[in-house]
Amino acid sequence: MECVLPGNNFNDKAMALFKKAKSNYYLVFLYRLCVVMFLFQLCRFIFYLLNRSMFPGIDGNEWRNILKGGLVFDIAAMFYFNALFIVLMLIPFRFRESVTYQRVIKYVFFITNGIALLLNSIDFIYYRFTLRRITHSVFNEFSNEINKSRLFRLFLTDYWYVVFIYAGLIILMVWLYNKVKVYYDRAGAKPWIFYVKAVTVLVITSVMAVGGIRGDFKHSTRPITISNAGEYVTRPDEMYLVLNTPFCLVRTWNVNQLKEAAYYTEEEAEHIYSPLHSGNSGGDSAFRKDNVVIILLESFSKEMVGGYNKDLDGGRYKGYAPFIDSLMTVSKVFWNSFANGRKSIDALPSVLAGIPGGLDPYVLTPYASDSLHSLPYLLDKEGYTTSFFHGAPNGSMGFSALVNLMGVQHYYGKNEYNNDKDFDGVWGIWDEPFFQYFANTLSTFKQPFFSTIFSVSSHHPFKVPSQYAGKFKKGPLPVMECIGYTDMALRRFFEKASHTDWFRHTLFIISADHSTVAYHPEYQNAWGDIAIPILLYHPGDTTLRGVDSSGVIQQIDIMPSVLSYLHYKKPFFAFGENVFDPQRLNFSVYYNSGYRWIENNYLLFFDGTRSKALFDYKNDRLLEKNLLDAEPDIVKRMERHLKAFIQQYNNRLIRNQLINKGE
């Protein structure tokens, strides 16, 4: 009689279960996605090893952040490049189990991920020449080359080892893919179970793909882009260790690429308009270490403020921001004040770094990783404590990444506030409690400090806290009630701040991030699209008062104007102007399917080649009378300045020249 040991039977069953689990269709699917993630991470290490001299001084903690961020971008790239593979694998039909179908899926996987690995491999070397990961602009850069094949052969000859690295990556991918086979066990399985399971997995994977591409599942989060890599690094160039080339190519595919302009010689352009500021403001006066607080109010268009619009509705218009009205009486006000974009993501680069949006918002372009010295960065060098406050969930709008790139030391968001009772359920912490938190936290900082707060409540779906229902004036637009609420929150902030020891030593800049939908015809035009309030208020300086009815101020003027007010003595870079300089151009610029250039009283439309219209916006509020043919000298002068601006803007972003060499 044969003796059968109990353990043998148990081991056989265990091995069978292990084989089944190892070969389960959905586990194999997950395994193959993990193969992609592993290969992307491997490419990151190869990229670093081949270019390590360009990334000196990275410590262990910095590496942890880089790898953490790298995982986020690898997940996004994995979903971008494997969308077809994922659909083919998870399509809820039985024919997916056939040998022929699985062979098709395999080659789809090899081709798409082979392309992704090729892009990463090219950047092992190409990065050294561009100091950027490859973006869609590479196709424009080489579109006119007639010797592409020769250039390609030279690349292969000079960097032959990259060919072997790429071949090794492909071999490794194929080997890992084939290491695990799909196993089908239909014994006893009911057909309806297959379809329920298949549809469920497809839905879950689709949701995960959306989260992976967006970077998380928060309502206020946009799909991550290149600039979000700044959240994980201490130096801008380290962003390229966080990023991967497949991601950069996809995210810049529909982004308009700048082209170098040559309206003038570089010397002529510099003479006509220069973003290089010499500093040395204030003459012999010492640097003034006053605190600086910038308050950016969501969607506060100029139309909402009664103090700017005493002529509307036959002189009866009161607006929806009475506290802003009162601040205007004790502030420096430039009557012609403008935003440099129509999106929240345009505002921060404009205000904090003097960089307006162009064909696309700056943070969505490949140039978002350019080296720059922002206002908080420069003030940090002068001993300032720097911070940024935004009541939305951390990571919203990519703000935390952007301000980190700008050198801001401390970020305060919904996470730091840590009280969801004050969460509006959509965008962030209600403005009133968050502004109180802002005032309290400022009082803990060592002076001098620089801080920015970005409000959230005057935003769709246009609600106010339940305890304030019916408390604020409603208007023909739903946002108007919310404007009243945020205006009240601002008043309460100033009431609290006025009792602190830092209040009278602080320069406040109150502005909007952008304009919003307009009601009055006077604002339903190209001028009203960008008209916002900008106030400069210093409770301890009575000389900073009054209305300048002819001067122009824009968001990119805030940085150079603040530095001038503080008597900053060093060179710096900003596309804006110092509004205290009587010799300035007195301009504002905005791009929307063409350039809108404001200079003094005039608004010029320019398509990049020729002017299309000219209006005297101060005397022709509805922009009804085109002066293009009537004022040729004004058109010529404004075109000259605008062309020089375009040339400086395009060329400096493309060449990564956003720092004054004298800094």
User: For 405-424, how does the pLDDT look when each residue is reduced to its tens digit (9 = 90+)?
Assistant: 899 999 999 999 999 999 99
Q: Are 427 and 221 in contact (CB under 8 A)?
A: no
In a domain, 330, yes or no: yes
Strand-pair category, 572-573 with 276-277:
antiparallel
Q: Are 404 and 442 in contact (CB under 8 A)?
A: no
Q: What is the pLDDT of residue 365?
A: 81
In a domain, 663, yes or no: no
Q: Are residues 176 and 271 in the same domain?
A: no
Q: What is the pLDDT of residue 71?
A: 94
Q: Point out which residues pair with 536 in neighbouring strands.
A: 332, 509
CA distance 644 to 261: 9
DSSP string of 223-271, one letter each residue: PP-GGGGGGG-SSGGGHHHH--HHHHHHHTTTSPPP----SS-HHHHHH
**Domain harbouring 453, CATH code:** 3.40.720.10
Last residue of some domain: 251, 282, 305?
251
User: Looking at the predicted structure, is the pLDDT value of residue 18 above 70?
Assistant: no
CB atoms within 10 A of CB 107: 10
Last residue of some domain: 251, 276, 297?
251
Lowest mean pLDDT among 94-98, 271-275, 460-464: 94-98
Assigned token pair, 351:
């205000």
From the list 483, 460, 457, 462, the residue with the least C-alpha distance to 472 is 483
Q: Are residues 238 and 318 in the same domain?
A: no
Report, as an integer, the average pLDDT of 251-258.
Answer: 78
Provide the mean pLDDT of the chain.
Answer: 88
In a domain, 661, yes or no: no
Q: What is the pLDDT of residue 352?
A: 97
Q: pLDDT band at 508, cuts 50/70/90? A: very high
Lowest mean pLDDT among 67-71, 256-260, 553-557: 256-260
Q: Are 290 and 536 in contact (CB under 8 A)?
A: no
Report, as an integer, the average pLDDT of 42-70.
Answer: 91
CA distance 511 to 556: 12
From the list 516, 559, 512, 566, the residue with the least C-alpha distance to 535 is 512
Q: Are 228 and 357 in contact (CB under 8 A)?
A: no
Tens-digit pLDDT profile for residues 114-163: 999 999 999 998 887 666 788 776 665 555 444 556 667 777 787 889 99
Is the Cα torsion angle 372, 375, 378, 381 positive or negative in sign? negative
In a domain, 27, yes or no: yes
In a domain, 2, yes or no: no
Q: What is the pLDDT of residue 236?
A: 66
The pLDDT > 70 percentage for the chain reads: 91
Q: What is the pLDDT of residue 137?
A: 60
In a domain, 588, yes or no: yes
Q: What is the pLDDT of residue 356?
A: 95
Residue 390, judged by CB atoms within 10 A of its CB (0-12, 13-18, 19+), counts as buried
The pLDDT > 90 percentage for the chain reads: 65
Q: Are 351 and 511 in contact (CB under 8 A)?
A: yes
In a domain, 1, yes or no: no
Tens-digit pLDDT profile for residues 349-381: 999 999 998 887 888 787 887 889 999 999 999
Q: Are residues 201 and 308 in the same domain?
A: no
Strand-pair category, 587-591 with 572-573:
unpaired
Q: Are residues 221 and 300 in the same domain?
A: no
Q: What is the pLDDT of residue 594?
A: 83
Q: What is the pLDDT of residue 145?
A: 45
In a domain, 520, yes or no: yes
Q: What is the pLDDT of residue 552?
A: 96
From the list 624, 621, 627, 625, the residue with the least C-alpha distance to 523 is 621
Q: Are residues 497 and 520 in the same domain?
A: yes
Tens-digit pLDDT profile for residues 209-231: 888 888 776 655 667 888 788 88
Report, as an integer, the average pLDDT of 306-310.
Answer: 94
Q: Are 288 and 544 in contact (CB under 8 A)?
A: no
More reliable by pLDDT, 633 or 96: 633
Cβ contacts of 6 within 8 Å, gap of 6 or more:
none
Domain count, the chain: 2
Cβ contacts of 98 within 8 Å, gap of 6 or more:
none
Q: Are residues 590 and 486 in the same domain?
A: yes
Q: Are residues 384 and 279 in the same domain?
A: yes
CA distance 59 to 461: 45
User: Looking at the predicted structure, is the pLDDT value of residue 9 above 60?
Assistant: no
User: Looking at the predicted structure, is the pLDDT value of residue 499 above 90?
Assistant: yes
Tens-digit pLDDT profile for residues 421-436: 999 988 899 999 999 9
More reliable by pLDDT, 575 or 95: 575
CA distance 358 to 255: 11
Strand-pair category, 291-297 with 587-591:
unpaired
Q: Are residues 247 and 369 in the same domain?
A: no
User: Looking at the predicted structure, is the pLDDT value of residue 323 above 90?
Assistant: yes
Assigned token pair, 104:
């098709």
Q: What is the pLDDT of residue 150?
A: 65
Q: Are 373 and 572 in contact (CB under 8 A)?
A: yes
First-residue to last-residue Cα distance in the chain: 93
Lowest mean pLDDT among 158-172, 228-242, 601-615: 228-242
Q: Are residues 206 and 273 in the same domain?
A: no
Angle formed by the axes of helices 6-23 and 25-50, nearest 10°? 70
**Largest Cα–Cα distance of the chain, in whole Å?**
115
Q: What is the pLDDT of residue 138?
A: 64
Q: pLDDT band at 11, cuts 50/70/90? A: low
Q: What is the pLDDT of residue 373?
A: 94
Report, as an integer, the average pLDDT of 610-639.
Answer: 94
Q: Are 390 and 413 in contact (CB under 8 A)?
A: yes
Tens-digit pLDDT profile for residues 161-204: 999 999 999 999 999 999 988 766 555 557 777 788 888 888 99
Q: Are residues 219 and 271 in the same domain?
A: no
Q: Are 565 and 507 in contact (CB under 8 A)?
A: yes
Lowest mean pLDDT among 394-403, 438-447, 529-538: 394-403
Amino acid at 405: L
Lowest mean pLDDT among 223-237, 315-329, 444-458: 223-237
| Parent domain of 504 | 266-654
